[in-house]
Structure 1
Amino acid sequence: MWPGIIFSGRTLYGFALWGLKGVRCFLDTSIVVYANDASDPRKQALALDTVVRHMRERSGTISTQVLQEYAVVAVKKLKQAVPVVVHQLHLLESLSVVQISPGLVRRALEVQQIYGLSYWDSLILSAGESAACDTLLTEDLDAGSFYCGMICKNPFVED
């Protein structure tokens, strides 16, 4: 379970009324997973802070791919109960959510061909691009790399 504010009986839906602040960040699945993974307390704290901050500031974006991947990992690897995961998914919906469309699937294939990345990383990039994000928070791609108009940043590594 996510500690603190997320499961203290409060919801984060109220944060959706707060104003947008500058940078638009796309959060990769790993960031959302680490926010709920107690096996590495340092990463969990950093990831949870990142997710909550972007919810509060309305500056975070995810995709239905991120929601799907998170749900699978939370149930299978983290052994979370389905009702808990469903609740977490509702909370994550306070971020901007990009729906994966046939056009994004086609764009992901183009991105894959251009950059030589995996299809799934390319789909993440395509979703972030479609939402006009300027930053991708991930540990899966090299920090400082630039793809589809976004700079990759690893929130677990100091700049």
Structure 2
Amino acid sequence: MNAKFFLDTNIFVYSFDPNAPQKKAEAVLLIQRALGSGAGMISTQVIQEFLNVATRKFAIPMKLDDSKNYLQKVLNPLCRIYPGLALYESGLEIQAESGYSFYDSLILAGAVRGGCSILYSEDLQAGQIIRGVQITNPF
């Protein structure tokens, strides 16, 4: 059985980045692995953050139809963590314990909630283990 893992928003952003070909290739492989194995997951927060970046901040913003297609075929199938009081409380606790921002702590809370052993992210301290989740920089 594959160990469960969580993908942070930056993985999806890099999967479209023509200026970072090595990161793009690694990000695409991680997303394919997540979809193919069933072991990878994201939260609604990742969907929201990615769609905001893709439709507003990409050098060539993603068009409506492309955004909807990516949402339906990639993001939604990976989404297993939904907001709620318990998730927010866990995020606040992780923030207090770790010193990370609330939004980064909420990503960690999602990984914990999903039973993940790995959180793939470039933005957090690689190697750190929080509540059984090891932060791993895939790049």
What TM bracket, shorter-length normalisation? over 0.9
Alignment correspondent of 1:36: 16
Aligned equivalents of 1:49 and 1:67: distance in 2?
18
Matched length: 136
Alignment correspondent of 2:66: 84
Deviations 1:87-125 (A, max 9, x none): 111122222421011211111111100111110110001
Alignment correspondent of 1:16: none
User: For 2:134, what is the secondary structure of its paired residue?
Assistant: strand
Alignment correspondent of 2:36: 56
Gaps of 5+ in 2: none
Alignment correspondent of 1:124: 107
Whether the 8 Å contact between 1:60 and 1:96 is mirrored in structure 2 is: no
Alignment correspondent of 1:114: 97
Amino acid at match of 1:106: E
Amino acid at match of 2:47: L
Aligned equivalents of 2:101 and 2:131: distance in 1?
15
Whether the 8 Å contact between 1:31 and 1:138 is mirrored in structure 2 is: yes
Work out which of the two has the higher radius of gyration on C-alpha atoms and give 1 or 2: 1
User: For 2:77, what is the secondary structure of its paired residue?
Assistant: coil
Q: Does 1:137 find its partner at 2:120?
A: yes
Superposed structure 1 runs of 4+ greater than 4 Å apart: none
Amino acid at match of 2:116: C
Alignment correspondent of 1:99: 82
Q: 1:74 aligns with which of 54, 69, 74?
A: 54
Q: Does 1:149 find its partner at 2:132?
A: yes
TM-score (norm 1): 0.82
Aligned equivalents of 2:79 and 2:116: distance in 1?
11
% identical aligned pairs: 36
TM-score (norm 2): 0.93
Gaps of 5+ in 1: 1-20
